[in-house]
Amino acid sequence: MGRRLTNARGRRGTEPPPVPSIGILDTAFHRASLADPHGTSKAERDRRRAELKVVRASATVVRHLRLETRSFLKPPLSDFARALVAGRWGEGTLERSLTRVRRAEERIRTLARDAERSVHRASGSEELGDLIRSYYGRLSSHVREIDPDLSRLREIGDFLSDRPTLDPAAPTLVVAGFPNVGKSSLVAKLSTARPKVADYPFTTLSIAVGHADLGFDRLQVVDTPGVLGRKRHVNPAESEAETAVRRAATVVLFVIDPTPTSGHTIEEQEELLARWKAEFPTLPILPIETKSDLVRRDVDRMQVSAVTGEGVDELLARIRKEVTPRGELPPMQEELVEEIPDFRDEGLDEATAPTPSRRRRRS
């Protein structure tokens, strides 16, 4: 995002972000200008200087292009991160920009090889100067052509740096629901996250994550912006919340506020709950009611209070049950299984019995 400025008339404006090609080309040409080769004659030094200018300028540009794309490729983005980007900029936008930058890099490498061959064939400093100026112009054109893609990659990079990185192998609890129903307060009770909490809607504008100890694993607890239940005209914050439900959740904790403080009726909240259950039939969705210190209803549903802590321990126990592996043993115990011989059959007493050995799980 650009920095906020105040102009001469007192109006607040936004400074436009820098054009990527300007910084990249300035650095490349400055590095090329420092070429100071040795040679037995002026003609030899001129030729070597021209060669170094081609090599240094192209290498500097290619290195900067690699830096612009590296964060998206090594390690590759998770499916969840890609879904967040697609939800904000459209499906395939990131991939198209990465492809165009890669093709520009290939063209620049080809341009540099052609320029080096031309330098070897050139005769005299005047021809060498013309070749370098022509090379600089074509190099600049290739970089400027991808300015929109470089700007978009920087924008996406800033966007992702403000979002948590989720471990796809760890169980994930996504806390979701309408705005101002108490999601963030509950997340603070359940995990290490310390989200901003306020008594007005849309306090949470992007996803945030904390962790809770399950004993056998760490649970990722994701706080999401409020969702209004609209199928169309979904704002970016709502899109992030629905992406977390679709692409990251092991279990969804659907928070319902039975009080009038959220500004949304029970019927509206129940309608969204029913829609999600229909859209995600295989995803465990655990509905709970918050603010039980203010309102308690006669319903067959867990009721908790982030203010008093009522029901939080029971809720954690229920969540552990939902995310516990369904195999016979937890994951770590499946890897190592105790083999305890009956030492009495070997004629040994308990004091001299060997320490139980470990064997690998059978493949």
pLDDT in tens, 140-175: 999 999 999 999 999 999 999 888 888 888 889 999
Rounded to two decimals, the pTM is 0.73
Of residues 110, 254, 278, the one with CA closest to residue 182: 254
What pLDDT is stored for residue 340 in this prediction? 40
- Please say if the pLDDT value at position 336 is more than 90: no
What pLDDT is stored for residue 28 in this prediction? 96
* Averaged pLDDT for residues 57-77: 94
Model confidence over 96-107: pLDDT tens digits?
999 999 999 999
* Averaged pLDDT for residues 63-80: 92
* Averaged pLDDT for residues 67-75: 92
**H or E segment at 332?**
helix 331-335
- Please say if the pLDDT value at position 34 is more than 80: yes
Distance CA 282, CA 285 (A): 9
Pairing of strands 172-177, 4-6: unpaired
Pairing of strands 172-177, 218-223: parallel
User: Residue 293's CB: how many other CB atoms inside 10 A?
Assistant: 15
* Averaged pLDDT for residues 181-210: 67
Task: Output the CA–CA distances (angstroms, integers) from residue 279 to 245, 272, 295, 355, in the order listed.
Answer: 11, 10, 30, 53
Task: Output the CA–CA distances (angstroms, integers) from residue 194 to 129, 187, 219, in the order listed.
Answer: 61, 8, 15
Mean pLDDT of the chain: 81
Distance CA 247, CA 279 (A): 13
Give the burial string for 247-284 (b: 16+ CB within 10 Å, else e): bbbbbbbbbbbbeeebebebeebeebbeebeeeeeeee
- Please say if the pLDDT value at position 228 is more than 60: yes
* Averaged pLDDT for residues 205-229: 79
Confidence of residue 202 (pLDDT cuts 50, 70, 90): very low
Model confidence over 242-255: pLDDT tens digits?
888 888 899 999 99
Tokens of 153: 């990659």
Distance CA 150, CA 349 (A): 73
What pLDDT is stored for residue 65 in this prediction? 97
Of residues 148, 100, 103, 119, the one with CA closest to residue 57: 119
- Please say if the pLDDT value at position 233 is more than 80: no
- Please say if the pLDDT value at position 60 is more than 60: yes
Backbone angles phi, psi at 114, to 5 degrees: -65, -40
Residue 70 CB contacts under 8 Å (≥ 6 apart), including other chains:
none
Q: Which residue has the tokens 């471990």?
A: 167
User: Residue 102's CB: how many other CB atoms inside 10 A?
Assistant: 15
Quick one: residue 88, left, alpha or beta (phi over 0 = left, psi -120 to 50 = alpha)? alpha
- Cβ neighbourhood burial of 357 (10 Å; 0-12, 13-18, 19+): exposed
Task: Output the CA–CA distances (angstroms, integers) from residue 20 to 16, 26, 68, 101, 175, in the order listed.
Answer: 12, 10, 10, 12, 38
What pLDDT is stored for residue 194 in this prediction? 61
Confidence of residue 133 (pLDDT cuts 50, 70, 90): very high
Confidence of residue 304 (pLDDT cuts 50, 70, 90): confident
Distance CA 105, CA 234 (A): 37
- Please say if the pLDDT value at position 231 is more than 80: no
Distance CA 131, CA 225 (A): 57
- Please say if the pLDDT value at position 114 is more than 60: yes
Of residues 237, 72, 82, the one with CA closest to residue 166: 82
- Please say if the pLDDT value at position 20 is more than 80: yes
Distance CA 256, CA 239 (A): 19
> What is the three-class DSSP state of 174?
strand
What pLDDT is stored for residue 205 in this prediction? 55
The residue ranking higher by pLDDT, 48 or 231, is 48
Lowest-pLDDT range of 239-243, 245-249, 277-281, 358-362: 358-362
